[in-house]
Structure 1
Amino acid sequence: MLESMRNAAQGVVGKAIMTVVMGLIIVSFVIWGVGDMLRGFTSSTVASVGSQKISAEDYHSAYQRMLQQYQRRLRQPFTNEQARAIGLDREALQRLLSEAAMDEEARKLGLSVSDEALRSMIVSNPTFQDKSGAFDPQKFADVLRNNDMNERMFVSDLRKTALRQFIVAALTAGIAAPKAEVKAEADFQGQTRSIDYFTLPASAAGEIAPASEETLKSYFNDRKSQYRAPEYRAMDVVSLEPETIANPDEVSDADAQAAYDKVAGKDPRYGSPEKRDLQQILFPNEAEADAAEARIKAGASFDDIVKERSLGPDQTDIGVTTKDAIIDKGEAEAVFALPQGGVSDVLKSQFGPVIVRVKGVTPSSVKPYSEVAEAIKRQVSASRAGDKIQAIHDKIEDARVAGKSLADAAKDVGLTAQTIPAVDAEGKDPAGAPVNLPDKTDLLRAAFASDVGLDEAPLQTKDGGFVWYSIGKIEPSHDRGFEEAKPEVEAQQRADEIDKALVAKADDLVKQLRAGGTVADVAKSVGAEAKTAGDIHRDDKSLPESVVAAIFREPADGAGSAASPDGRAIFKITSDKTPAVDFADLRVKGMAQQLDASTRDSVLEQYVEALRRSLGVVVHPEVLQSAEGS
């Protein structure tokens, strides 16, 4: 709950927050459903916070929604016993208690939402609007009916949620992470190390004798769950995307030219945007910034100011960036209006007044219209395909209602069904190869929540298309026997033995480095090639992740080893640097924003916990246990 509340509090109060509030509720309805899961259940109270009571029905519904969510994730039954073992029952109760505390505080503060404001929230929400953007009462009624809601229930929930959002917005507005925390995080992320290293190949492990049948069986028995065969599903898939029915011949040259003019130099498919290599001086106050600006206009250079303030490149260089990458749009407009070598007036940034210099300009590279005309026309045609897609959608749905298979319904409108013999929940076939699927993540999630023979509604894609699927066969997940898994067992057992041997050899070589040996000499002793790697960050991708992690686990002048795809890397750290933090740097600004959000979350959590303590929480265990059900 706290996460959703914090997210909603990021915007301005008013129409934006109304849309967010409605979005949160509608998303929860779509994901969980709000059916009356306790028809006939008693109205006993599970818990109370102040004067707010949580009924057994409210708790049961919330608990069941979470249970169903886990079942969908695991794609298998999830029992009450399993739920209790991971604390799902406690999590459901804690969420309800926190919401009740917020509701009680809203009541005590005398907050209210007018019926007119609630009406505005509803009619302005896209979920309830027709294609013209007007409120559609029928869509509103359909959504409520499909989720077993009536208007009274819906409005009541909406009113409570809106009031919670207003409290959150007031509580968290203006809260930011301490500057010291931002610096500590920037230091951590900005730290770099350089190493000398070499790779000890797998062959250095020496001769590894084949394991006996008894050893392999023992190895298999200790790791049976690792060799369990996943569930596979056979299905037919039909994809209807704007690109599928796009017809470039329908688009005039004039329309295509107009579309090209809007994206040329901005869309990477048709050219790259302008880039600028920037430097800046960040000032502690406006007075010093204004004085520096006056000196530059009087003849001093940007470099003169940098030298006077004893600033190094790590404090002034922003680097090459695009206009869109600059967070402050006013600053971006001013900087990109300067010529190469130009120096700005004092600009206001998030971290204080700055003066910016343009070191270099890389002009946008624009592909000529003649070169991309066909692609532009196809894009324009695809953007106009909405009505055609809806018409084809309706024809396929009518054919399915009439009893035709998905493949035959698709064939009637000129589409071809993709037949998938077997795919697991990760999108791989039995051989472990990835299966090419449209809208892959959403399709797999939906397909593995479906069943054989169910006539499921199509998925709607982000670009306005549809994906239909029909499950033909399910091959359940099952434990494989030793003989079936033996090839994998042999390979894994041998790999483990090789790794053990390499670790032992690597430990001896690392001891030599720590005793003063050089990487060049130690590498030569085992016939390996010594290499260097510089300016390695914690998220560096030039080296294996395991090696990077090991490098930053060691002391600044340490040595160590880590597994790598080719064997085992042996390294010695040759330098350790942590640059000064530039709070105007785009990377640091982004980091600060993330920490700000985390700080707001923490404040909100503490606030809700304090509310609960001051209001008093009473839980009735016997009613709680009964409400969970069997």
Structure 2
Amino acid sequence: MLDFIRKKKESFIIKIVFVVIVLSFIGTMFLVWGKGSEGVSGRGGYAAKVNGTKIPLEEYQNAYQRIRTIYQQIYGQSITPDMEKALGLKKVALDSLIDNFLIAKEAKSMGIKVSKEEVANSIEAVPTFQKDGKFNFDLYQQLLRSNRLTPKDFEEGQKQDLLLSKTRQAIKDKATVSDDEALAQYKKENDKIELEYVSYAPNEVISEVKPTDAELNDYLQRNQNEFKTPEKTALSYILLDPAAQAAKLTVSEEEIQTFYQKNIDRWQGKDGILPLKEVKEKVKADALRQKATKQAFELAADTLYKHTKSNDLKQIAGQLNLKVQETPLFDANAPAAALAGETAVIKKAFELKVGELGGPIETPKGIYIIKARERKASVVPPLSEIRATIEVKVKAAKAVELAKKKAADAARQLAAKGALKAQTTGTFGFSDKGNIPVIGNAPDLMEAAFKLTAAAPVTNEPFKVGNRWYAARLKQRIEAPKADFDKTKQQLKLKMLPKKQEEALAAWVKGLRNKAKIEINQTLIAEK
């Protein structure tokens, strides 16, 4: 599920950016649209309190539904509960409302205002309100009425939306890209590097792992459920075959006709329902089988009831001229061979106490009456019995830890220019996909590698790629011509600016949240 979402995010990255932009609109519009005639407090509870001011529950519910709809449009399908949980839509909706509230408050202290002319221009630019490419006042009023909105409320919403946009833009406008930042990006995009590295895989070091008894016991205690033996039961039972009853029974014409009518869907042919005369023998056989099964069930139930107090399966078997059969101990996932496929019988078997009768139970094989003969509880075996199994698991887990530790030790040796038998990648350039020659797909290592310098040539920590841990050192860097940077510096800065602006805005909003006193109604975002 998460892989699906990640792929969709990559495919629709532009749309995701659109969602981020539109969230501010959603939050603001509902601050006005959602209140209706009830005022700022709304009905019911609150979604959050920000510096003592409540964000009404209704505003949250409206924002959540709108965001959910937008994501459905992005992914082109209904949002399942698992997808909703992975995307965190409830938190997204609530965070957008809180952020917009804080930004709107901060706009006042920044002296940011919105004029009537700006509001009017923004409304006239909305395509929904235009006819033949021009703003149509009658259409505007008609659409507002159909959505139960007054011009005053809608225009206030537009004003708030513009206020937020202007405030965000004011923060973005302060962001700049320095020459050093541009140079670092230029080098990242144009330099070539070569790494030397040492790597370790768990399977290569597992022979060095020698777990102690204490470690084995500790693992067993922490993972008891993994080693519990399944609960087992053994049954005594009798099985009534309805066919024996059928030999003693007949069915009348009326019974045949009734059975045919009640089960008419069974008799489908190419051209529709087959007439009774064409399927009469099959109808008769099925009706007889049903009648026999019913009588066998009633006979078993009556006999069982008469022996409830004695609880004696042998007496019941004797009265029905049947033989008591027995199963060995079995668990629910590996039933006795005689009960293979008898799901209802197996389920009932584990509901009975030892010595207790159960039934009648009807299955395709017949009618069962069962008795729990023995029960073996689920237990955690002692270490001595499952030592080999636990040892395998402990060694596998510790081998992963040891591989990582060896890589970390190797990183320290590489930093100290110690003598290590290292491999090399050959020269390569930066790739957003993170594909490093020889090593493979390693986006995190790629990012770290292009930050390495002659003064700090070794990664601070080992990186896991696939099932291996890597320590890497910069072997050489082939620098791109500085003159080319000077020629492209301004274009590079312009390319980097939008990201820098978004980072500045995100940091500013985070600062507002850190300074604010926010109380969230946790029941709204709790995952069920």
- Normalising by the residue count of structure 2, what TM-score does the alignment of the two structures yield? 0.40
Considering Cα pairs closer than 8 Å and 6+ residues apart, tell me whether 1 or 2 has the greater RCO.
1
In proportion to residue count, which structure has more helix? 2
Q: Which one has the largest radius of gyration?
A: 2
